[in-house]
Amino acid sequence: MRVGARGRVSGARFVVSPNWDERPSGAAVTLLVVHSISLPPGEFGGDSVERLFTNRLHPDAHPYFRGLAGLRVSAHLFVRRGGELVQFVPLHRRAWHAGLSAWRARPRSNDYSVGVELEGTEHSPFADAQYATLTALVRALRDALPLRDIAAHSDIAPKRKNDPGEGFDWDRLMRELARA
């Protein structure tokens, strides 16, 4: 896996999201934010996350979706349960994934971060294939960007968010990244 000159990750299926804008001039991407998502909550494998990130999620398709009507969000990347990687926003653009947030007292995390969503919930374990894809992705991002930190969405927005949650094994990710 590698990052191309146009900010696209090789091996990722690219689905264009309109929910992005330009990063501030000179903003270096130094942070990776790990999220979790499933729509409806706890259901995996459908196309609802893609529909949400492309503004095509119909609010009447499920009662839970009514609360998401009009929401304009995206992430750079989405890792499905089987390890498939989907990219919505080129890495040099600012995806709308972090919301009101700060990392180490630096506000506006979207300005200097890449957002990666894992298909899952805050309380259930993630799949082996997701850890394999995420590990390869982090390595590729470190090769292409001045990435220094990896944080949970809950770390940058602790009063608002809990993801990726207790189901995410941070020790496992760090062990896998430490391997040559």
Catalytic residues: 117
What is d(CA 82, CA 111) in angstroms, rounded to the nearest whole number? 30
Whether omega before 63 lies within 30 degrees of 0, making that bond cis, reads no
End-to-end CA distance of the chain: 15
Q: How far is CA 59 from CA 66, 67, 69, 70, 163, in A?
A: 5, 8, 6, 9, 23
Q: How far is CA 173 from CA 17, 28, 36, 121, 133, in A?
A: 28, 24, 15, 17, 11
Q: How far is CA 123 from CA 60, 110, 114, 163, in A?
A: 26, 25, 23, 9
